[in-house]
Structure 1
Amino acid sequence: MRIAAAGFCCIDVYNNLKKYYPTGNGVDFAVHMNRLGYASSLISAVGNDSYGELMKETLKKEGIDISHLHTLAGSTAVIQLELNGNDRVHGDEDEGVMEQFSLTQKDIDFILTHDYLHTDLFGRILNRLPFFQSSGLKTVFDFSTFLQDERIERILPSVDYAFFSYEQEDNFIRDYMKWAKNLGPSLVTVTLGEHGSLSYDGQAFHKGESIPVDVVNTVGAGDSFIAGFIHGIIRGQSIPDCLKSGATLASSVITQFEPY
């Protein structure tokens, strides 16, 4: 089983703490899937700067295939963060060379050698999703908290496993999940922070519980949850067990500062 992550990658920088690390939705997902035993690749772009070298060195150590991680002239994407208690607060964002990134034909051919493809709203491959899905890849899409993004309605028909983040279980999110499911995904899943998670298969809602832990930093919780969930899907687990698998991995990640 081969996993491809094609999406936004960056360095999270906490200036007040003098800490930083390589991350991004696809980066975190690929690292966790690789640790779970799946050959994983990252298709994205970094700059020819020290942050770019850090990204490449870190992923090499993790065993990620970075043969299609482009090094472009310019700066690696950076997101400024602060901690509010144990919750991250986003500050300024510099996309750097991600603004220039687009898939080459070699990238496309490489992605087609995988079984699953993970991406996000900022990975710059949205126009290729219908092709990848029709070619047989299972598509995993992390919409994060952007439930109102105008592109979602166009994206969902090309998504097999859709993931969103929201703050609570209520009528709005249940109706939203039904709407999203009707557009095409096999499953729509929403992480609800301390309130657990919810998955909808078109017939029933399945509730997952969060696992109480001492939280250090919530960064990476959603990405690790998705990895744990997809791990369950690949193993043929029931939806409740997939939710538990996601929660278990996420609970281990938020007890540490870095996202993996």
Structure 2
Amino acid sequence: MTRVLVVGSVNMDLVVEAERYPRLGETLFGKRFASYPGGKGANQAVAAARLGAQVTLLGCVGRDMFGSQLKETLQGEGVDIGRLRETDVATGLATITLAEGDNAIVVVPGANHELLPQHLNQDEQAFRDADVVLAQMEVPLATVERAAELAQRHGKPFLLNPAPAHPLPPSLLERTALLTPNEHELAQALDERGGDWQALMRKLPGRVAMTRGKDGAYFCRADGSLHHQPGFVVSAVDTTGAGDTFNGALAAFWPQGLEAAMALACAAAALSVTRAGAQSGMPTLAALQQMLKEQA
């Protein structure tokens, strides 16, 4: 059982569906409302836990109703929340309006931006205990950098999903065992917009696995050659959680070697899009094994 430490965000997603977007100053009646547990840190933690990993989440929520609900959900998924801090700042949330075949999203980081480097110092034992450390960019950059430093100090591979897209300092890239962007995020991470994605991958040989939706994922080997892991053919219902499923699976299966882990991660991501919802669509290990058996 892989011991995965996730350093990242915890959000509540509030989704409203309407016929159209309201004009400035206008009030509309909506069609539907739903709330979903989210945040890239929490999503990836759940994905890894469902696939059999022993997962600890290091993050921050508010002392409020959403914080309590999210902690309960994570605990129910088998995620260790003993290092999930509480703060007087409100739990992070995303408000999502669905209308006219599109969406508009406002994210309020809230408690996620209260996770500071000194908190990671206090939880250094979690880095010692982990087999792999996984982070994203929905907590402060300084916190992500400290996570990479502590992972390096204790000889643990540091996996970084650079989302939301953000230029990354060279020191962070040097400490990252594997960067897991999509094409847009790769260009932003290297601060080289408009470049050929294959050439950009070769700037970090042996340390980039890039996702390309239905096409699967690509890994740049140390010699600069590209390994392509094809995607799996499924009937897509909701692609929201595919990227987070891929990252959680990659961490869960890391000990099997990168190419094997990528194959399993692509399969898990494909399976996740066959059901609605980010966390709710994430597959269990049994479901993944059944899918692979059927497609063998």
TM-score norm. by structure 1 comes to 0.86
Residue 229 of structure 1 deviates from its aligned partner by 2.9
AA aligned opposite 2:263: K
- Tell me, yes or no, if structure 1 residue 95 matches structure 2 residue 115: no
For 1:242-253, what aligned pairs fall within 5 Å after superposition?
242-253=261-272
- Unmatched 5+ residue regions in structure 1? none
- For residues 80-130 of structure 1, give each alpha carbon's deviation from its aligned partner in whole angstroms, at most 9, with x where no partner exists: 2245799x8451111112222224233223332212111112323223112
Q: How far, CA to CA, are the matches of 1:69 and 1:24 in structure 2? A: 13
- For residues 22-45 of structure 1, give each alpha carbon's deviation from its aligned partner in whole angstroms, at most 9, with x where no partner exists: 122221221122222221011101
Pick from 213, 216, 227: which aligns with 2:237?
Answer: 216
For 1:180-195, what aligned pairs fall within 5 Å after superposition?
180-181=204-205, 186-195=206-215
What is the count of residue pairs matched by the alignment?
249
Q: How far, CA to CA, are the matches of 1:154 and 1:173 in structure 2? A: 21
- For residues 171-195 of structure 1, give each alpha carbon's deviation from its aligned partner in whole angstroms, at most 9, with x where no partner exists: 71111111133xxxx4311111122
- Tell me, yes or no, if structure 1 residue 202 matches structure 2 residue 218: no
The aligned counterpart of 2:282 is: none
Q: How far, CA to CA, are the matches of 1:193 and 1:98 in structure 2? A: 28
The aligned counterpart of 2:179 is: 162
Give the ranges of 4+ consecutive aligned residues of structure 1 lying more than 4 Å apart after TM superposition: 82-86
Q: How far, CA to CA, are the matches of 1:189 and 1:117 in structure 2? A: 16
What is the RMSD computed on CA atoms of the aligned residues? Answer: 2.3
Q: How far, CA to CA, are the matches of 1:97 and 1:133 in structure 2? A: 26
Q: How far, CA to CA, are the matches of 1:158 and 1:84 in structure 2? A: 42
Query: Could you say which structure has the larger radius of gyration?
Result: 2
The aligned counterpart of 1:5 is: 6
AA aligned opposite 1:127: E
The aligned counterpart of 2:23 is: none
Q: How far, CA to CA, are the matches of 1:193 and 1:171 in structure 2? A: 19
Q: How far, CA to CA, are the matches of 1:75 and 1:20 in structure 2? A: 16
Residues 25 and 142 of structure 1 are in contact (CA less than 8 Å); yes or no, is this contact kept in structure 2? no
Q: How far, CA to CA, are the matches of 1:179 and 1:255 in structure 2? A: 34
- Tell me, yes or no, if structure 1 residue 127 matches structure 2 residue 128: no
